[in-house]
Amino acid sequence: MPGDDWQKFANLRLLLGYLYTQPGKKLIFMGGEFGQRAEWSHEAELQWHLLQWPPHQGLQRWATDLNAFYRGSAAAHTGDFDPFGFEWIDADDALSSTLSYLRRAVGVPAGQAPEELLVVCNFTPVVRSAYQVGVPRGGYWRELLNSDSESYGGSGVGNLGGVQAEATPCHGRPHSLTITVPPLGMVVFRAEPEAEAEP
């Protein structure tokens, strides 16, 4: 991975977050979950000793939390093979090097709204402040994951737990969020039911 150590770890956290929020089943290969530096060899054990250093500990914590998120969020896995489960919001923002998309749960009981997740990825080392992204509904969108959290070894740039949607159309959708996207990072938001919305 290019860049200094901070950028390498941030890039890997971003890559893993992108992997876990895309459709399809997941595979992390031999040491990728804690940032093994040497190429894997069948004649040697994994470089477990690296876990004595905080950046590797943070990456392992991120991989652990991604697994828990994937298992616990219906929108992250039930729509893997259903077109309703994935929708691009903006795949063309080359100027900012960002991608944004929705994941939706499928197979929910009739009359129940499916869980919806918004994923925004920033592939540059620049913070994207006041970044506007369209969403399909209003209300409060809670920040579930942030690869730049200090607990993962990041710089702590985020959205203070969530963002209230505005009735401002964007990306062909009736509402939008104005968010901060961390450098070489990704954030995941969930549309909260009205009863759980923030004031």
Q: What is the mean pLDDT of the chain?
A: 92
- What distance lies between CA 154 and its chain's CA centroid? 14
Q: Strands of 185-191's sheet, edge to edge?
A: 86-93, 98-104, 116-122, 185-191, 140-146, 162-164
**Largest Cα span, the chain:** 58
pLDDT-based confidence at residue 190 (cuts at 50, 70, 90): very high
pLDDT-based confidence at residue 195 (cuts at 50, 70, 90): very low
Is 194's pLDDT higher than 70? no
**What string of H, E and C letters represents the secondary structure of 58-75?**
HHHHHHHHHHHHHHHCHH
- pLDDT the model gives residue 44: 83
Domain locations along the chain: 1-199
- pLDDT the model gives residue 146: 98
86-126 pLDDT, tens digit each: 999 999 999 999 999 999 999 877 777 789 999 999 999 99
144-177 pLDDT, tens digit each: 999 999 999 999 999 999 999 999 999 999 999 9
Q: Specify the fold of 1-199.
A: Immunoglobulin-like (2.60.40)
Start-to-end Cα distance in the chain: 42
25-60 pLDDT, tens digit each: 898 888 888 888 877 778 888 878 888 989 989 999
